[in-house]
Amino acid sequence: MKKLTSADSLITINHYKNLLAAEGIRSEIRNEFLGAVVWEIPWVEAWPELWVVNDLDFDRAMQLITSVESESPSAPWRCKKCGEENGGQFAVCWKCSASVD
């Protein structure tokens, strides 16, 4: 088991996991269920993490994730219409459905 990456959103981690699964790479999500230990560690360490099951898949898995990250910038954006903050993976506001531009 090797840690691939972590993200502040389980949606992102799940997206990566599905991506790897499509390539036949098995991975596991850690910190999926944030619970009682959270207050003892910095919150960044409680982000969901993606671990590759087979170390031999690590390099390929990392390449896949890196290519996806560069394809779709994941910087959060603020809706001009309602002011709601949205994740970078969304093209429309989740709250009012206004588009990003």
Residues contributing to the site for Zn ion (CB under 5 A): 79, 81-82, 84, 93, 95-96, 98
Tell the smallest beta-carbon distance from residue 81 to Zn ion (Å).
5
Closer residue to Zn ion, CB minimum distance, 4 or 93? 93
Tell the smallest beta-carbon distance from residue 89 to Zn ion (Å).
16
Tell the smallest beta-carbon distance from residue 83 to Zn ion (Å).
7
| Sheet with strand 49-52: strands edge to edge | 2-6, 49-52, 27-30
Measured distance CA(24)–CA(34) in Å, rounded: 28
For residue 35, which amino acid is it?
A: G
State the SS3 of 36-63: CCHHHCCHHHHCCEEEECCHHHHHHHHH
Characterize the bridge pairing of strands 85-86 and 49-52.
unpaired
Closer residue to Zn ion, CB minimum distance, 63 or 97? 97
Closer residue to Zn ion, CB minimum distance, 52 or 79? 79
Closer residue to Zn ion, CB minimum distance, 11 or 34? 11
Tell the smallest beta-carbon distance from residue 80 to Zn ion (Å).
8
